[in-house]
Amino acid sequence: MKSLFEKTPVVPVVVIDDADKAVRVAEALVAGGLPIIEVTMRTAAAADAIAAIAKQVPDAFVGAGTVLSGDHARAIVAAGAKFIVSPGLHADVVTAAEDLSVPIIPGIATATEAQQAWNMGLRVLKFFPAEQAGGVSMIKALASVFRDVVFMPTGGVSAANLKDYLELPAVLACGGSWLTPAKAIADGDFDRITTLASEALAIAKEVRG
C-alpha cells in the first residue's frame, strides 16, 4: 500500500450520489494517472459505487473513506474496498481493519491523537482537516516528533497548494476532492476529471520525479 502511494502520491476523494457513474469516474481518474481512489461513505450510493469500481475497473485500487465504525468497515470491505480511511482515530475501526487484513489510515489533527495512533502501531496517518488544523507548518511540527510516521493531508488541499504539501518528506500522499468536482460528475464531464488528474500528477512528478 505504501509503495503505491509513493508511485502516485495524489488520492482523489470521491463523493458520488449516482453509483451508475462510478465506473466512468474511476476510469477517468485512471486515465489521468491516478489509480488510487477513495470513495467516501457520505452518500447512500457509496457502497454500490465501490462494488462497481472493484469489479469493473481492474486498474483502480479503490478504498472507502469516512468509515466511522467497525461494522461500517466490515460492510464496506465486503463490498470490495481495498483500504479504509477514517476522519478520526477510533479503536473499533482500526481493529476491524486489522482483523480483515486491510490497510487503515485513520485521521488525526493533534499531537495527542498522533501519539495514540503511534501507540496502536500505526505509522501512516491522515492529517485532517489539513488546512484548518495548521497545514504545512503543523505537519512539520508533528513530523519532528513522530519521525517514523508519514501523513496523508486531506481537507483544503488543492492544485494551488499541492506542491507545498508534497515537498514535505513526511507527506506520503495528499487526498483531495477537487479532482472530481460534483458538477463534472453530474454533467458526465469525465474528460474534465481526467484533465484534473493529469494536472495533479504533473505537479507530483515535478516535486518527486
Catalytic residues: 38, 126
Check if the beta carbon of residue 92 is closer than 8 Å to that of residue 69.
yes
**Bridge partners of residue 104, in order along the sequence:** 84
What is the DSSP secondary-structure string of the chain?
-HHHHHHS-EEEEE--S-GGGHHHHHHHHHHTT--EEEEETTSTTHHHHHHHHHHH-TT-EEEEES--SHHHHHHHHHHT-S-EE-SS--HHHHHHHHHTT--EE-EE-SHHHHHHHHHTT--EEEETTTTTTTHHHHHHHHHHHSTT-EEEEBSS--TTTHHHHHTSTTB--EEESTTS-HHHHHHT-HHHHHHHHHHHHHHHHHHH-
Taking the CA of residue 143 as centre, how many other CA atoms within 13 Å lie in the half-sphere pointing to its CB? 19
Q: Which of 193, 175, 178, 181 is nearest to 25 (CA)?
A: 193
